[in-house]
């Protein structure tokens, strides 16, 4: 089934600046729009280099973003946004910084709270501030999308907000900002970008209008990820991964991810495994599991990665696992600190994420999920 006759909605940031050395174009754009009070939401490392953005006027930097932010982190960001009274909010960092920037843009100064907007289309009104996104990793594609996630620290569940009002006015994608990303993080975030593309490509909602970005994103990862891991200053490889990440972001709005991300989320919420590392570990298992449901597309994914074509589950797993392991990605839950007695609870958590599991091309039962965790342990 091609789904060609299924309606689809595709959105993009109003302006995309892409290329090595374009970071300062954000400042030029902001000045042309007359923005004078800017809040940059970032992690500690990137907070120290906001000067590359060329921003003028009154610039406030919130530099305390951490990986896998929770609702408490969002509260602190919202307090910073209220104090800054900015007319432009900038997400500068990885997916966590960009997601918090999205939420700050729609919740700051609004009568709505996070609990009011969890889900799709629940942000009641357009935001009053402009939003810019500047990624410093190549993985999440959050700069292109309309979703944001934070963790509920009590339930350990991801709270997902989706709204057209969280679409950036401008995305500035400068691969030079990723040169400093360490090899292990480069590898894991690169496979996260790959997972976005592959899970969309093999999705029940897959659509030819998105397939073209999804399979090209996979090809870019296959061509450039190992190069960037070997040499972080390889400008062409970094640009290729930045484009793959952007294409993965294009996949998230109209199609979204599926089983792989559902199984990866509990690793982050319960064990604080970085999102990219969690997806990289899970990726070969779910790709192999889904093979019987999408054999032709699985072959296309393997070909895109430069791996031997196969429709046999074990062969698909071996090829994908070796692809990830060859990048020095940790492929064992045990080695990441996960305890065996938590696998059942993780399976419960993952099985409850219906918004993603219902997209998976092959039904994943709780028993299937537990079996994957046990195989990955």
- Between CA 142 and CA 250 the distance in angstroms is 9
pTM for the full model?
Answer: 0.94
* pLDDT digits 0-9 by tens, 114-153: 999 999 999 998 888 999 999 999 999 999 999 999 999 9
Section 30-58 average pLDDT: 96
Minimal CA–CA distance to 264: which of 117, 65, 68, 98? 68
Q: Is residue 37 within a helix (H) or strand (E), and if so which, with residue range?
A: strand 37-43
* pLDDT digits 0-9 by tens, 303-318: 999 999 899 999 999 9
Per-residue pLDDT, 1: 54
The average confidence (pLDDT) of the chain is 95
- Between CA 58 and CA 61 the distance in angstroms is 10
Section 229-248 average pLDDT: 97
Q: Is residue 278 within a helix (H) or strand (E), and if so which, with residue range?
A: helix 275-290
Q: In what order do the strands lie in the sheet with 130-135?
A: 15-18, 170-173, 130-135, 88-93, 37-43, 58-65
∠ CA 328-329-331, nearest 5°, is 125
Q: Is residue 107 within a helix (H) or strand (E), and if so which, with residue range?
A: helix 95-107
* pLDDT digits 0-9 by tens, 152-185: 998 888 899 999 999 999 999 999 999 999 999 9
- Between CA 27 and CA 34 the distance in angstroms is 10
Q: Are strands 37-43 and 58-65 parallel, antiparallel or unpaired?
A: parallel
The first and second tokens of residue 159, run together, are: 């709270």
Section 197-215 average pLDDT: 96
* pLDDT digits 0-9 by tens, 244-254: 999 999 998 88
Whether residue 144 contacts residue 129, with contact meaning beta carbons closer than 8 Å, is answered with: no
């Amino acid at each position: 089934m091609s789904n060609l006759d299924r309606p689809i909605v595709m959105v993009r940031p109003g302006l995309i600046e892409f290329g090595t050395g374009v970071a300062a174009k954000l400042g030029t754009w902001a000045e042309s729009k007359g923005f004078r009070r800017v809040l940059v939401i970032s992690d500690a490392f990137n907070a120290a280099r906001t000067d590359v953005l060329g921003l003028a006027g009154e610039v406030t930097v919130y530099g305390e973003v951490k990986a896998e932010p929770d609702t408490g982190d969002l509260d602190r960001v919202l307090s910073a946004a209220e104090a800054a009274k900015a007319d432009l909010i900038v997400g500068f960092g990885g997916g966590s910084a960009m997601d918090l920037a999205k939420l700050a843009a729609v919740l700051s100064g609004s009568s709505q709270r996070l609990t009011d907007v969890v889900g799709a289309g629940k942000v009641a009104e357009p935001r009053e501030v402009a939003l810019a996104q500047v990624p410093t990793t190549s993985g999440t594609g959050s700069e292109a999308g309309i979703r944001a996630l934070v963790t509920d620290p009590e339930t350990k569940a991801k709270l997902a907000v989706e709204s057209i009002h969280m679409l950036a006015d401008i995305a500035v994608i400068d691969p030079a900002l990723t040169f400093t990303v360490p090899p292990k993080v480069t590898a894991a975030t690169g496979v996260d970008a790959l997972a976005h593309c592959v899970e969309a490509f093999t999705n029940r909602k897959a659509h030819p209008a998105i397939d073209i970005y999804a399979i090209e994103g996979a090809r870019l990862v296959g061509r450039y990820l190992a190069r960037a891991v070997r040499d972080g200053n390889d400008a062409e490889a970094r640009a290729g991964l930045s484009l793959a990440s952007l294409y993965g972001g294009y996949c998230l709005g109209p199609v979204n991810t599926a089983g792989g991300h559902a199984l990866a989320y509990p690793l982050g919420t319960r064990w604080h495994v970085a999102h990219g590392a969690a997806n990289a570990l899970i990726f070969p298992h779910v790709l192999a599991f889904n093979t019987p449901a999408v054999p032709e597309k699985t072959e296309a994914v393997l070909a895109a990665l430069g791996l031997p074509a196969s429709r046999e589950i074990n062969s698909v797993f071996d090829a994908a696992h070796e692809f990830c392991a060859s990048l020095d990605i940790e492929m064992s839950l045990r080695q990441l600190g996960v305890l065996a007695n938590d696998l059942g609870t993780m399976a419960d958590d993952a099985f409850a994420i219906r918004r993603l599991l219902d997209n998976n091309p092959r039904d994943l039962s709780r028993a299937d999920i537990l079996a994957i965790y046990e195989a990955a342990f």
